Chains A and B, each alone.
Chain A
């Protein structure tokens, strides 16, 4: 289960939302995963979390 941390970026030109989500939600403490959510299709692309400075 993943939980949105509250940090996100929206890029309307690319039609994408980039939420930074926690792999834990009890409590929300990371590790963190940056995702790409396509606003047109709803497709989710998970980035890697282990090397992000977050």
Chain B
């Protein structure tokens, strides 16, 4: 869901042009298909990524292409291309609509390896910064992104373990916590974890949940943990599906059940 519409994508059949379907949320009817640039034959890179852009638009990332599309007309308002050899893994734009963050993987033998972070002007698509050093180089593939005011949070696997780190806007410099030495510490917290961690932003907080059962809310600008609790292994979920600031609830899926979680009051800013 972005800019008032659902955006549905499936892998194209052989020889057919990839497209994203724009769907109205009330009628659940197709509004229009959004054609995407062709991908190389046998492309096995990451799937298409969509995020809300400024002024009622969405950004769509597919292979090397980034398209800013008007949700009201379907027209392409801006476009950008990643450097050769990279493919879009995930995208996230800040709520002010100024910065588009992109994680990209190196395409090697048809698959994605490593991670490069890129920062773009969210209105016109000009590239502002690129980063691939520091802890980013430990990523085995692209990172999942959550843009927040002042920067972006990245979560990526380093193998069977993974890291969640914070980069600032205007240059993608790392913001502590966590500090660069986090990868050397035990993987038992919100910044260094085993297997997976999911992040989301809403209600003035960064929300994290991981395979350890840690669920926490953080100050999105400083990384300070406001509250944390430990879920039972039988309660684990892989993704935070939605944040409802009005009802002060977090929604997640566990197997086929919809979970409604009530975080502590101090989580909400």
Q: Hey, which bits of chain A sit against chain B, CB under 8 A? A: 4, 8-14, 16-18, 20, 32, 34-36, 45-48, 51-54
Contact between A34 and B28 (Cβ–Cβ < 8 Å)?
A: yes
For B28, the chain A residues whose CB sits under 8 A away are 18, 34-36, 45-48
A52-B10 in contact given A8-B253, A11-B242 (Cβ < 8 Å)? yes
A9 touches B33 (CB 8 A): no
B23 within 8 A of A: yes
Interface size on B, residues (CB 8 A): 29
Count contacts between A and B, CB distance < 8 Å. Answer: 70
> Is there contact, CB below 8 Å, between B249 and A12?
yes
The answer, yes or no, to whether B229 is at the interface (CB within 8 Å) is no
Residues A53 and B256 in contact, CB atoms below 8 Å apart: no
CB atoms of A52 and B25 under 8 A apart: no
Which A residues lie within 8 Å of B244 (CB)?
Answer: 12-13
A51 nearest in chain B by CB position? B30
Chain A positions within 8 Å of B246 at CB level: 12-13
Residues of B within 8 A of A48 (CB): 28-30
Asked whether any CB of chain A lies closer than 8 Å to the CB of B9, the reply is yes
Indicate if B12 sits at the interface (CB-CB under 8 A).
Answer: yes
Residues from chain B with Cβ under 8 Å of A11 in the complex: 1, 25, 242
**CB neighbours of B128 from chain A (8 A):** none
Complexed CA–CA distance, A10 and B240 (Å): 10
Q: Please pick, from B8, B29, B241, B258, the residue contacting A53 in the complex, using a CB distance under 8 A.
A: B8
Closest chain B residue to A35, Cβ basis: B28
